[in-house]
Structure 1
């Protein structure tokens, strides 16, 4: 293979990667409207898709996970958020230590002012079992399921911050694993997917106070050993 052909292949590969990136999601991104629910919630760290089919559908979707009241996102920059197992101290049972947040905008560039949620199928799918090789998907319309959503844009914008523990009666916040989330907007007649984004939330246990204390003792012992040596 000569150098000219190799350069052509590399250029073609780079172009295909760039095209894929433009047509896909953007990680750790802002949503165009800003965060509208509640107060003091900063923008950013969403898995955003506003380029589905070159954005010909003019829909922007966003998903992210967050530690409530702290504003910690713990994103890996590729659509996965690492959160602690256990209960959130302000929520208690059955609230997890983290929330998932969604944002839907049916009129991203302002050119489709007549769009409303009733014209589309809105589906949020949540895998309620994070254990490996286990799947328990719950699919629902987040716009109608949650009564405290922020609704704006003449019924074309919806946002909220919710807790996965509020979706099931027997939620166990101490299970380690990976939860899956998928948000889609579909054509109401054909069910064609018009926009889609997804994320994962990996739950890991926080180091216990005893474990932290033990690590501290080991560190002091190691320093003393080195000094004596």
Structure 2
């Protein structure tokens, strides 16, 4: 597991750069959602290179699960609800989840390594925490090109290695509040998320980026101290019961 923190310049500068990076991405793409129950296929921001497709989106999760994906068609998702929601002992859940999809285009997702970067800074500054989502999350859903909506196989800590080796598709849905005990969903902010794939030589094959704007985007919010993700190694505690209840 690799976790790293890096301080970048003003978020506005990054967003301009990200726009250039993702100009060839397919915004509002349709990707079959194999996780959860009744999760829609709409509104993904996808990037395909060398046969590998990576996709991200942000989707309304609270006050009740919906398939509302408020995308501007260019990789930005906007949510006006800054309420803190509670579920299964978590009291700092955002109204939105972010979903990710990895399609390696090969017999196994293990043909590549992956890095998921999550911006923990709500202000115009930016602080990424990056990690391999296949290594960290124990409850990913796995499938292949023939897997239909909602019919992925949900992994556990004991089965995830075998499922990753046998399948070309991996997906999941997460909330910032599950990943970071210090996350405050009531603060207006702008968050960036990226997903990248690397070949065995460590060269980046493809990458998808999205931006999530909450409230007024946090333009007037002073930059807070860096926030560290807490308990990343314990994310496997996300049991299948939580996944089916929260990812619909």
TM-score w.r.t. length of structure 1:
0.69
Shift of 1:22: 11
Structure 1, unpaired ranges of 5+: 1-19, 206-229
* Structure ID, larger Rg: 1
Q: 1:63 is matched with which residue?
A: 56
- Distance change (3 Å), C-alpha of 1:43 and 1:203: same
Contact 1:87/1:97 (<8 A) preserved: yes
For residues 137 and 173 of structure 1, the distance between their equivalents in structure 2, rounded to whole angstroms, comes to 17
In the TM superposition, residue 146 of structure 1 has moved relative to its aligned partner by: 1.2
**Unaligned ranges ≥5, structure 2:** 1-19, 145-165, 217-248
Counterpart Cα distance in 2 of 1:99 and 1:180:
13
Give the alignment partner of residue 178 of structure 1, picking from 154, 170, 190.
190
Write 1 or 2 for the structure with the bigger share of helix.
1
Q: State the distance in 1 between where 2:204 and 2:56 align.
A: 17
Residues in 1 aligned to 2:181 and 2:27: alpha-carbon distance in whole angstroms: 32
Displacement after TM superposition at 1:175 (Å): 1.5
Indicate conservation of the 8 Å contact 2:104/2:111, yes or no.
no
Q: Distance in 2 between matches of 1:100 and 1:173?
A: 14
TM-score between both structures, scaled by the size of structure 2 = 0.64
* CA–CA distance in structure 2, aligned partners of residues 21 and 166 of structure 1: 29
Equivalent-residue separation in structure 1 for 2:175 and 2:57 (angstroms): 12
Root mean square deviation of aligned Cα:
2.2
Which structure is higher in RCO with an 8 Å CA cutoff and minimum separation 6? 2
1:158-185 Cα offsets, whole Å, 9 max, x none, are: 0011101111121111111210011000
Determine whether 1:197 maps to 2:193: no
1:155 aligned to 2:143? Answer: no
Q: Per-residue deviation at 1:195? A: 1.2
- Pairing partner for 2:43 from 42, 45, 50: 45
- CA-CA distance at 1:145 after TM superposition: 1.2
Query: Following TM superposition, where does structure 1 have runs of at least 4 consecutive aligned residues deviating by more than 4 angstroms?
Result: 20-23, 89-92
What residue in structure 2 maps to residue 127 of structure 1? 119
Residue matched to 2:73: 77
Cα deviation for residue 21 of structure 1 reads: 11
